[in-house]
Chain A
Amino acid sequence: MAKHHVTATVNGDVVEFLCETRQSLLDVLRDELNLTGTKEGCGTGDCGACSVTIDGRLMCSCLVLGVEAEGKAIQTIEGMAAGKDLHPLQRQFLEHAALQCGICTPGILIAARSLLERNPDPTEDEVRYWLAGNLCRCTGYHKIVDAVLDAAREMRRP
């Protein structure tokens, strides 16, 4: 079966890859581009561990085909820090001990950044409902919610 040639922008860089018709964007990121920071928790769009943004829109990369990435701009966890500087969300997650095992963390950070881009001053409830598509089994979400609220506060500062 012939593979497809796809050109996309990933974390600001133009990349080319070959993929099978049925290969998900998640598998392409992990297996073809070696960007393993995006995690697979379920493969069915229920856990959010594979969250990325595609042209600025939050998506589960397990529900997107690799071929659909053609011409799109994809952001993954590997592109979140600005060089050596962690994103305020990344820093607040560390400060708040908002991760335990850390497997859900990349997806939650991507989802939380997406929230703060739309709503720089969310309420606790808004954070909880926005992140309802991202499962965390370790923390009970308490410290995650606090970290997101504190990052929002920090990012609102002029």
Chain B
Amino acid sequence: MSTRLKPEEKKLKVVGTRPLRPDGVPKVTGIARYGADYSAPGMLWGRILRSPHAHARIRSIDTSKAQALPGVKAVMTSADLPEQKFEYVGPERVAVNFWHMTRNIMAREKVFYEGHAVAAVAAISKSTAEEALRLIEVDYEVLPHVIDVEEAMRPDAPLLFEDMITRGIDPAPDRPSNISKRLEFKIGDLDAGFAAADEIVEASLKTAPVHQGYLEPQACLARFDPDGQAEVWASSQGHFVIRALTAKLLGMEMGNLRVHPAEIGGGFGGKNVPYVEPVALALSRKTGHPVKIVMSREEVFKACGPAPGSSMTVRIGVRKDGKIVAADGVFKFQAGAFPGSPVMNACMCAFAPYDIPNVRSVGYDVVCNRPKTAAYRAPGSPVSAYAVESVVDMAAARIGMDPLQFRLQNIARPGTPTVWGPKHTHEGFTETIQALMKHPGYRAPLGRNQGRGVASGYWFNNGGESSAAVHVNEDGTVVVATGSADLSGTRASLAMMAAETLGIDYDKVRPIVADTASIGYGHLAAGSRTTFATGIAVVEACKKVIDNLRARAAMIWDVSAEDVIWEDGCARPAGGSKGRFEPLSLKAIAAKRGVTGGPIVAEVSVNAGGVAPGFATELCDVEVDPETGQVKVLRFVAAQDVGRAIHPSYVEGQIQGGAAQGIGWALNEEYIYDEAGRLTNAGFLDYRVPVASDLPRIETVLVEVPNPNHPFGVKGVGEANIVPSLAAVSNAVSHAIGRRMTELPMSPPKILKALSSER
């Protein structure tokens, strides 16, 4: 069941309906081409050799035997990629250091994790490439390794980088460590805040690293021609970003690289950066042949960023009347082998749902011998929300208040300051809590061994750079081209907004994802930004087309353009000309394009601001089997403020998918290492993502408080849904067993251990 809480709205014909997605048929017939589905004449197969050690110095690599194997066309190592400058570039929250990135693509001095790429081959068949890998001789000096974040922070921990001095501490430490960065956000007076509290509740919590678990392994086809021109067919969340990073890593000009967007088989943040593209292109550069690389699932788990594990402590001071007066959180995140965990997001989002006068968030970004972490759905926020929402739940219980009422009473509203400075400016948080309070599930009776948990969560959402081109075809149909990868139905939402704006039928609009040479820059399909930011570009381009159509109607009628309005897909005479002419449809004007100025086209690029955050509140009922420690999720209800649902079915799908991933994160999923620092569960048998029989129906409540900064009120829907779900499940389990759970995943052994402890 899905509920929509609808705002007052002007009459919309297309937005808010549920048409079929335009890219649907090829996806149900097997015709759609994903990353691994592209081939080219003369193509070679690329394979990557990976480190068997968690931490080792590379003394030497001998590729001669592999090179000599018949059918092998090239072997590459890091020597085939240019050295990069050591500097952090871009905004702090998403800063990139190419010195690190090139070493993650292909190890140089050291390998930093099991699965770290050390060399690659291109050969005439998969099996030849595989055989060649076994002939590459790497001489390693194995070094002590460190996996756990707390252990990595100890002064005597093995160092990944002998010269890493923690950033963000003044004065700078005089000794190197694995702590890449410390950061702190603070408002108010923490001591005074806690002194004013009647109760202080504190907990220390841990989460395991989890993988995004996209079903499509990283894959690409790359071709580098002798004249320096190159093309890549990539499955990614942003082919423009793949172009920029791949060109940088290969030391080539962006203008010489054209990246085509393959269909993408899931990303969730994990396909924001290249892994195979620079390697395939470097191999193609060496051989003069197209090279295809398709990762195995084991490679995906071992080498493509999971989300970080964490160790956290949260303390909340509350008055008996239910007011939170102080909150303090310390968030230690595993960055993996190179700096750059989303701990800054975690610190910013942690207490963002609430109006708390005295708050501090402290974060640590810590390197350890695991794959470099990558973004995963609202990166950072679900982890810190798990800690904060657990302690909020404990605080509500301590003062004997209903947990939703407690949240409602402390909720941030427009004008509430955030820890990072600006004040909140959007409504919508309150409404998600109220929606659940009214939901019948919230009052439904619970049985033996059952428990109910609730939690709320905040996510920034994103705007940024997007481009859209609208072409009116000769017969009045329309092409909408954007540079935004479609992970989940955004071609439908963009076509719907175009149809609505132009006043034509949805099936007259053909949306496409254009390659990097065919449209202006489009940033990643990430941060829940596509329907928001690219949507603005599409609507602006449609408006430009409408102005053009009005001018042409005015020319045909020989009146002033001001005397022509656009309504229901037609130019109509207005003002002084009202009633003098029959309306001219888009189709009729398109037919006269030749005599009114030629093709009718508009392209618009934006850097979209006016982002409104996402907010979700979720309810989870579980039953715990006291014999086995197994947790069954009985009910899950997710209320999310979506601004406005352009295509409600796909919005529901986003929420259901986010909740399902959150349930997996809470109950099953984790990276498990052996003593040697090797990942022992790099496959879907042992790394268990939720299957259909693990989950209940996931009920959605679409709260629609429109964003005034978007033509249709869109806020972005992809990520806020996962933020509360870890804590909602944990709170439910904690209530079911009468003991506070403080570590994810809550796998059966952990539940049994908790059950054997004191209440």
A46 at interface, CB cutoff 8 A: yes
Given A39-B34, A128-B693, residue A105 in contact with residue B656 (CB < 8 A): no
Q: How far is the CA of A20 from the CA of B20 in the complex (A)?
A: 42
* Chain B residues within an 8 Å CB radius of A38: 30
A96 at interface, CB cutoff 8 A: yes
Indicate which residue in A20, A30, A44, A138 contacts B488 across the interface (CB closer than 8 Å). Answer: A138
Q: Which residue of B lies closest to A20 (CB)?
A: B127
* Chain B residues within an 8 Å CB radius of A41: 215-217, 297, 684
Q: For the complex formed, measure the closest distance between the CB of A74 and the CB atoms of chain B, giving whole angstroms.
A: 13
Q: How far is the CA of A96 from the CA of B693 in the complex (A)?
A: 19
Q: How far is the CA of A47 from the CA of B688 in the complex (A)?
A: 10
* Chain B residues within an 8 Å CB radius of A94: 20-21, 24-25, 28
Residues B29 and A90 in contact, CB atoms below 8 Å apart: yes
Q: For the complex formed, measure the closest distance between the CB of B419 and the CB atoms of chain A, giving whole angstroms.
A: 32
Given A94-B21, A101-B488, A136-B215, residue A36 in contact with residue B127 (CB < 8 A): no
Residues B684 and A135 in contact, CB atoms below 8 Å apart: yes
B99 at interface, CB cutoff 8 A: no
Q: Which residue of A lies closest to B213 (CB)?
A: A137
A144 at interface, CB cutoff 8 A: yes
* Chain B residues within an 8 Å CB radius of A44: 297, 683-685
How does the 8 Å CB contact mask read for B641-661 relative to A, with 1 for contact and 0 for none? 000000101101110111111
Residues A42 and B36 in contact, CB atoms below 8 Å apart: no
Given A104-B215, A137-B215, residue A86 in contact with residue B657 (CB < 8 A): no
Residues A145 and B487 in contact, CB atoms below 8 Å apart: no
Q: For the complex formed, measure the closest distance between the CB of A39 and the CB atoms of chain B, giving whole angstroms.
A: 7
Q: For the complex formed, measure the closest distance between the CB of B450 and the CB atoms of chain A, giving whole angstroms.
A: 19
Q: Which residue of B lies closest to A101 (CB)?
A: B266
Q: How far is the CA of A81 from the CA of B30 in the complex (A)?
A: 10
Q: For the complex formed, measure the closest distance between the CB of B59 and the CB atoms of chain A, giving whole angstroms.
A: 32
Residues A137 and B266 in contact, CB atoms below 8 Å apart: yes
A95 at interface, CB cutoff 8 A: yes
- Chain B contact residues: helix, strand, loop or mixed: loop
A76 at interface, CB cutoff 8 A: yes
Residues B215 and A103 in contact, CB atoms below 8 Å apart: yes
Q: For the complex formed, measure the closest distance between the CB of B257 and the CB atoms of chain A, giving whole angstroms.
A: 25
A78 at interface, CB cutoff 8 A: yes
Q: How far is the CA of A41 from the CA of B647 in the complex (A)?
A: 28
Within A35-67, the residues touching B (CB, 8 Å) are 35-44, 46-47, 49
Q: How far is the CA of A28 from the CA of B658 in the complex (A)?
A: 35
Q: How far is the CA of A140 from the CA of B650 in the complex (A)?
A: 12
* Chain B residues within an 8 Å CB radius of A137: 212-215, 266, 268, 657, 661, 689
Within B268-304, the residues touching A (CB, 8 Å) are 268, 294, 296-297
Q: For the complex formed, measure the closest distance between the CB of B3 and the CB atoms of chain A, giving whole angstroms.
A: 14
Q: How far is the CA of A27 from the CA of B267 in the complex (A)?
A: 24
Within B32-67, the residues touching A (CB, 8 Å) are 32-34, 36-37
Q: For the complex formed, measure the closest distance between the CB of B702 and the CB atoms of chain A, giving whole angstroms.
A: 14
Residues A138 and B653 in contact, CB atoms below 8 Å apart: yes
Interface size on A, as a range, is: 35 or more
* Chain A residues within an 8 Å CB radius of B693: 125, 128-129, 131-132
Residues B215 and A49 in contact, CB atoms below 8 Å apart: yes
Which of B126, B658, B661, B693 has the largest number of chain A CB atoms within 10 A? Answer: B693
* Chain B residues within an 8 Å CB radius of A140: 653, 656-660, 690, 695, 698
A142 at interface, CB cutoff 8 A: yes
Residues A101 and B656 in contact, CB atoms below 8 Å apart: no
Which of A44, A86, A140, A143 has the largest number of chain B CB atoms within 10 A? Answer: A140
A77 at interface, CB cutoff 8 A: yes
Residues B683 and A42 in contact, CB atoms below 8 Å apart: yes
Q: Which residue of B lies closest to A79 (CB)?
A: B30
A22 at interface, CB cutoff 8 A: yes
Residues A39 and B20 in contact, CB atoms below 8 Å apart: no
Q: Which residue of B lies closest to A49 (CB)?
A: B215
B305 at interface, CB cutoff 8 A: no
Q: Which residue of A lies closest to B301 (CB)?
A: A42
Q: Which residue of A lies closest to B211 (CB)?
A: A137
Q: For the complex formed, measure the closest distance between the CB of B527 and the CB atoms of chain A, giving whole angstroms.
A: 17
Q: How far is the CA of A93 from the CA of B660 in the complex (A)?
A: 19
Residues B653 and A131 in contact, CB atoms below 8 Å apart: no
Residues B28 and A99 in contact, CB atoms below 8 Å apart: yes
Q: How far is the CA of A93 from the CA of B127 in the complex (A)?
A: 37
Residues B268 and A105 in contact, CB atoms below 8 Å apart: no
Residues A90 and B28 in contact, CB atoms below 8 Å apart: yes
How does the 8 Å CB contact mask read for A89-124 relative to B, with 1 for contact and 0 for none? 010011111011111111001000000000000000
* Chain A residues within an 8 Å CB radius of B28: 86, 90, 93-94, 99, 102, 105-106, 109
Residues B692 and A127 in contact, CB atoms below 8 Å apart: yes
B209 at interface, CB cutoff 8 A: no
A80 at interface, CB cutoff 8 A: yes
* Chain B residues within an 8 Å CB radius of A42: 297, 683-684
Residues B656 and A139 in contact, CB atoms below 8 Å apart: yes
Q: Which residue of A lies closest to B636 (CB)?
A: A140
A17 at interface, CB cutoff 8 A: no
* Chain B residues within an 8 Å CB radius of A23: 127
Given A93-B28, A105-B27, A106-B30, residue A46 in contact with residue B265 (CB < 8 A): no
Q: How far is the CA of A144 from the CA of B693 in the complex (A)?
A: 12
Within A16-34, the residues touching B (CB, 8 Å) are 20, 22-23, 27, 30-31
Q: How far is the CA of A38 from the CA of B31 in the complex (A)?
A: 10
Residues B31 and A97 in contact, CB atoms below 8 Å apart: no
Given A44-B684, A137-B213, residue A80 in contact with residue B29 (CB < 8 A): yes
Given A100-B488, A109-B28, A138-B653, residue A46 in contact with residue B698 (CB < 8 A): no
Q: Which residue of B lies closest to A76 (CB)?
A: B30
* Chain B residues within an 8 Å CB radius of A80: 29-30
B603 at interface, CB cutoff 8 A: no
How does the 8 Å CB contact mask read for B12-31 relative to A, with 1 for contact and 0 for none? 00000010110111011111
Residues of B within 8 A of A (CB): 18, 20-21, 23-25, 27-34, 36-37, 125-127, 212-217, 263-268, 294, 296-297, 487-489, 647, 649-650, 652-654, 656-661, 683-685, 689-695, 697-698
Ordered by A's residue number, 28 sampled pairs between the chains whose C-beta atoms are within 8 Å are A20-B125, A39-B265, A41-B215, A47-B215, A47-B297, A81-B29, A96-B649, A97-B18, A97-B489, A100-B266, A100-B487, A101-B215, A101-B264, A102-B32, A103-B266, A106-B30, A132-B691, A132-B692, A132-B693, A132-B694, A136-B215, A137-B266, A139-B653, A139-B660, A140-B653, A140-B695, A141-B660, A142-B697
Residues of A within 8 A of B (CB): 20, 22-23, 27, 30-31, 35-44, 46-47, 49, 76-78, 80-81, 86, 90, 93-97, 99-106, 109, 125, 127-129, 131-145
